[in-house]
Structure formats: structure tokens, C-alpha cells
Amino acid sequence: MRCCDWLRCCGGGEPRPRTVWLGHPEKRDQRYPRNVINNQKYNFFTFLPGVLFNQFKYFFNLYFLLLACSQFVPEMRLGALYTYWVPLGFVLAVTIIREAVEEIRCYLRDKEVNSQVYSRLTARGTMKVKSSNIQVGDLIIVEKNQRVPADMIFLRTSEKNGSCFLRTDQLDGETDWKLRLPVACTQRLPTAADLLRIRSYVYAEEPDIDIHNFVGTFTREDSDPPVSESLSIENALWAGTVVASGTVVGVVLYTGRELRSVMNASSPRSKIGLFDLEVNCLTKILFGALVVVSLVMVALQHFAGRWYLQIIRFLLLFSNIIPISLRVNLDMGKIVYSWVIRRDSKIPGTVVRSSTIPEQLGRISYLLTDKTGTLTQNEMVFKRLHLGTVAYGLDSMDEVQSHIFSIYTQQSQDPPAQKGPTLTTKVRRTMSSRVHEAVKAIALCHNVTPVYESNGVTDQAEAEKQYEDSCRVYQASSPDEVALVQWTESVGLTLVGRDQSSMQLRTPGDQILNFTILQIFPFTYESKRMGIIVRDESTGEITFYMKGADVVMAGIVRYNDWLEEECGNMAREGLRVLVVAKKSLAEEQYQDFEARYVQAKLSVHDRSLKVATVIESLEMEMELLCLTGVEDQLQADVRPTLEILRNAGIKVTNRGEAHLELNAFRRKHDCALVISGDSLEVCLKYYEYEFMELACQCPAVVCCRCAPTQKAQIVRLLQERTGKLTCAVGDGGNDVSMIQESDCGVGVEGKI
């Protein structure tokens, strides 16, 4: 049997796409790794050899080992063996015990995760299973506030709205809840046990590092005709996330080292502090001095007799110049330093995971941190509504509220005797109509779901009946979305209900407007926009709403002469700008689009491209409604620091553009560098040295939307180019690679 075949049989080899039958792990087309989390540097057999190798690969320790070994030669012995071996043994014992304690702590943390118990659906009913025993194809039940044990496809939920929320702070560091949707076919089944009675399977792509995308299909064969549904990231439950609402049932797709979270992490390695390296270098210098002194002493004797043995004996006699106690003092000092950090009242809750490099914190030259979430309150506030001819700020929101009120409460209150409205009334109604369309679009185009809670416990059935404002909490995957919906509520149009297929808005006159959700196009980093198609139940009107960044929306909306200028003005004020547009659709036009869209979503190959092409057929000549501007609430002491980040940016797609942009940026002074992950990849591919030279000269560098591997690459390049110490700070699983690659890593517990 060839080596690659053996690896494949053991769950190794190249990752491949897979077909997973629901509830039948035995029907697998390949072997998969065990669902075991292992963050240890060593195992039982490699611990002692590994620790000793890491100790004696440096000259400082090797020097004392050679001294101790030399005492076994009678001609070189200067005293009792214990005078050399006892100090060396004590040093090694301290090191081995320290490493053992850290490995045991890591083992216990891994064991706690691997031993968590979950419920598994089987033909004999519900059975308890440890996380480490979960297999691909198992149907796993995950309760509220329970961690998802493996990468799964979302099949069913107990929530009445047919969806659930996930907390992904342990995966990507985001504090906002993510909305996930079950497979429609399995959600309609009467009970969860029916999942084992149907003949169905999931076809999934090969394991991938990208936590923001997924391509797959769900097929039910025993229905007539067979049912096929497309699967995307909205149907995926990644390991490490926590179910925030309801109880969910999922089928396991990936386990063990094929998990998204594991693939984003690099292998743990032993780190050595700069102080240890400096001591090691000084030891070499002192040893060179010993050799010189020994040669001088032998030369004074004219190299008589066995002079080479005399040189070694002089080296042993003068060996005290390099005290072995220095190593003991260093190790004890690091242990005390780690203990003091844990007990520091100014940084409560700090845990030192490694006691070998605590002194590194005082010698950091480059600090790399994940975004600015720790510098802000992560709470967005609506600041500006711009309609082209008029703009509304915080001090004029009452005017927007009056426009909305007039639309819904004064439409039929004109005096009967008045033959026609006055010019002032016409202007007033025209402006009210424009404001209303803009507010309505903002209130409908989002992924926000209102959740009703009573006394801290979700009570959807009772609270939602009355749409009680005091019980309502908005949940969304972005704080920007929540800020927009909260603003529409403040001006009179309130989102009071939402599920997979419908949405309800409440007007200032307490009238409930019902809308059917026909299609949703989620926001992606590639498209930089999101859209929704809804049908107004009262009029039957179908409307396509879209909002996104000005760089993409400028080519989608009808020509106008104010979009670019006003977007620039708002951006210079530090606002996050969104462009909102709409398009009315005829019934036939929508039906034609739906057929093409469903067909594109079922494609396994090039699905993203095909779906984007179909959606783009609608994204033409849309009516520009408004611009919105929201702002994150910065801590007062960091606002001046973040001002420099708005100065300049680099955006390139090829080698020629990279050359021009880097040369142009070189002529700027005291300017922060802002670059996206895609542009960064191009620059590092063709002009790695030039880019790193510019980056090191800037007061600050912001890399937007970087992949975990790119974060680790930046750390590695900084270390190689500058030789300086780096510190990486992160709050999610996608920061693990960066933290492990840096000289000193800091993990921040995310806000829940």
C-alpha cells in the first residue's frame, strides 16, 4: 500500500468534497478524522525528548551538559560528579516541571471541550454522546447556550420564526449575533425523529479555511419529485459558535482537523524569549574568552606534554565565569513574573498561558491588533439622512418624524371645499413622500430580527402578540443594521415582527403593515451590498430594495450629480455611508427572475458567479432614495489616534496598479496606510520588500478584511524584515494564527 493511500485510510490525504447521509455515518465515501481538539505541543511519548531538545539546542544549556559529561573522563575530572550534575539536574527539573504543568493545563482544557456531552438522534431514540465521539453524518441536538461541537448543516429549530441566532465571538471575535436558517425541507417535518425516516443527503464542498462562505446542496430522494435545495453560509453552524436562541438539530459535515476553526489555526510551537537569546549570545562570547585564556595558559607552558588535555582542564577550571545559577535565577524570575501578572489588580482576569516569555511584554516594537473593537463601544448611532437636496442631522430628526406622521395620519384630512392643494402643500407632500420612501426602505432592507423577552426569558408567544416595545430587542449580524432599525423606530416606523417569509411594520397610527419576504441577498465582502425583494400585502406591489457602499452602488443607481460629492463629504466627517435604492418589479418580471435564481443556487460549481450574474440582471437603473450615515461611539481618549486612519488608502488589483500606488504613497508623509486584504495580497506577491518598507515607516497601518493566513503572514514578514519583537492581540478564533506566529500573543475574551 502506498503512503498516500495509507494516509487516506487513516483520515488523512487531500480533502475532498463529500456526500453525507442524514443519520447514517456508516454510509460514508471516505474516512474522516476524529472530532478531537488538541492544542498541546507534545504528547506522552514526545514530551521528554521534545523538552530536552528545546533546552539543549541553545548553547547556554549545551555548554553545561558538555561540562557535566566531561567529568566521566578520569583525566578531566576536577571533583565529585554531583558538583556538576546536581545543578544541571535542578535546572532541567525546574524546566521540565514548568513545561509539564503547562501541558497538563492545556490537556485539561482540551479534555473539557472533548468531553462535553450532546444528544444524538438515532433509530433507537436520543442518545448521549461525547464531543470527541461525534462522527460525520450524525444528527446532533444543540441546546440554547451550548457550543456547537462540529461543523454542521442546520436542519431544524424549535423557534417559531423558523430561524436561530449564533454567538460567534469565539470564532471571529464579532459580538453581534448571526442569523442562521434551517433547510426548508427538514424544518417542515412534523418532528425531529422524522429526519431518520426520510432518505436524504447533503453534498458539501471540501474542507476550506474560509469561515464566511460555504457551497453545498441538500437532496431528498424519497419525495416525488426529489427535492433539492441550495446550501450556503446561512445554513451552516461552525464549531466554536454558541446557539443563542432555541434548540437546533444539525447534521455533522466536518470533524477534527477539518473544522474551519482548526484549519485557521497554526500548529503550536515553543517560543523563546529575546532575553534568553541574548544570554545565549553572551554565553558564546564568554566561552570564546575562556578558550583564549586557556590557550594563553597552555602557551605559557610552551604546549608541553598532552597540551590538548590541559586546554580542556583549564576550560573546566575557569567554567565558573559562566554561572549555571544564572539559568536557575532566570527561570524562577519568569515564574514569579507570571504569578505577579495574574495577581495584578489593574488587569483582573488575566491568565498567563506560557511562563517562558512573560518578559517579552516589556520589549515589544510592533503591536498588531484585530480591528478597533477594543477601542470603541461597538455601538452605532444614526447621524445623518441625506436625500440629495436636503439633509437631516440629529438636530432635525423631528422633521423626519413629522413627515412620517403626516403620511400615515393626514392623507385624507384635506378640506372638501378646497378645489386643489396649494403650492406649499404640494411641496410639503412631495418632501414627505420622499422621506417616507427612504425611511420605509431602511425599515425593510436589513437582516434584523426583533426578539421579545419577558423577565429575561424569551416569551415570544405572549409578548409578540402585543408587540410590546419594552420587551423588544433587536438582533442582527451588524451593529450598523441595528442602528438603522432603531432610528426608523424613533421616527415612527417600527419593525415589530419578522420570520423567514414575512415582516411587520407598525406605523405612527398603530396600523400594522404586512410584507412578504420573497428573496434576500445577504451582504458579502465581495459584493459590498445587500438586497431584499418584498411584496406589500395591502397593495400586492413587489419592490426590490438594496443598500451598499457607494463604490458599488454608483454603477447601479440612475445617473445623478450629487452622490459622489455627498458620500465624500459624509465620509470626511467619519461616518459610515450606505446608499439606499429601490426598484419596482412586475409580477412576470419577478417570476422570471425567481426561476433563474433558483437554478443558479442549485449549481455546485461556480455557484457564486452564477448567482451574482442573475442578481445583477435586476441591479440596473435603480432609483436612488437616500444616503445614511452612522458612527461608532469612540472612547474619548482614542478618538485623536483614529483620526489618522482616514488619511489615505491603497486599492489595487494588478501589478501595474500596485507599482503606481506604492510610488504615490511613498511621497506622502506622516500618513496612515489603509489597505484591503485583496490589495494586500497583490502587493505582497509582487512588491513584498517595498510594501513592508513603507509599512514600517507609517505611524499606523490598517489592513481591512484580511484572511487569518494573511494576518499571520504580516507578523512573519515584520519579524523577518525588522528583527524586532511583535505582539499580536486578538479576540476570535480567526486571530489564533496571528497570535501563535507573533513573539508575544494576547487573547482577549470577547464581549458577550
Order of strands across the sheet that contains 472-475: 457-458, 449-454, 472-475
CA neighbor of 216 nearest in space, from 236, 237, 232: 232
Annotated binding-site residue? 711:
yes
Query: What's the angle, vertex CA 361, arms to CA 52 and CA 371, rounded to 5?
Result: 115
In which element (H, E) is residue 466 found?
Answer: helix 460-466
What is the spatial distance between Cα 680 and Cα 699, in angstroms, rounded to a whole number?
18
Within 8 A by CB and 6+ apart from 615, the residues are 521, 531, 597
In which element (H, E) is residue 534 found?
Answer: strand 529-536
Annotated binding-site residue? 128:
no
Annotated binding-site residue? 734:
yes
Annotated binding-site residue? 547:
yes
Within 8 A by CB and 6+ apart from 709, the residues are 209, 264, 737
Order of strands across the sheet that contains 18-21: 18-21, 200-204, 216-220, 227-231
The SS3 of residue 122 is strand
The SS3 of residue 678 is helix
Yes or no: say if 276 and 725 are a contact pair by the CB < 8 Å rule.
no
Q: How many Cβ atoms from other residues are within 10 Å of residue 630's Cβ?
A: 20
Yes or no: say if 244 and 144 are a contact pair by the CB < 8 Å rule.
yes
Number of residues that this document lists for the chain: 752
First to last CA, the chain: 51
Yes or no: say if 264 and 733 are a contact pair by the CB < 8 Å rule.
yes
Within 8 A by CB and 6+ apart from 188, the residues are none
CA neighbor of 205 nearest in space, from 233, 179, 165: 233
Whole-Å CA distances, 740 to 37, 360, 540, 573, 680:
17, 14, 56, 37, 21
Yes or no: say if 98 and 340 are a contact pair by the CB < 8 Å rule.
no
Annotated binding-site residue? 613:
no
Annotated binding-site residue? 372:
yes
Catalytic hit among 370, 550, 632, 743: 370
Annotated binding-site residue? 111:
no
Q: Are strands 125-130 and 139-142 parallel, antiparallel or unpaired?
A: unpaired
**In this structure, which amino acid lies at residue 148?**
V
**In this structure, which amino acid lies at residue 237?**
L
274-300 helix and 307-317 helix, angle to the nearest 10 degrees: 130
Within 8 A by CB and 6+ apart from 401, the residues are 490, 491, 492
What is the spatial distance between Cα 615 and Cα 608, in angstroms, rounded to a whole number?
11
Q: Are strands 673-676 and 701-704 parallel, antiparallel or unpaired?
A: parallel
In which element (H, E) is residue 134 found?
Answer: none
Annotated binding-site residue? 523:
yes
Whole-Å CA distances, 539 to 58, 242, 516, 517, 685:
79, 41, 12, 14, 55
Can 370 be counted among the known catalytic residues? yes
**In this structure, which amino acid lies at residue 576?**
R
Annotated binding-site residue? 83:
no
Annotated binding-site residue? 582:
no
Going by the annotation, the residues of the binding site for ATP are 370-372, 481, 523, 547, 576, 705, 711, 734-735
Going by the annotation, the residues of the binding site for Mg(2+) are 370, 372, 731, 735
User: Which residues are part of the catalytic machinery?
Assistant: 370
Going by the annotation, the residues of the binding site are 370-372, 481, 523, 547, 576, 705, 711, 731, 734-735
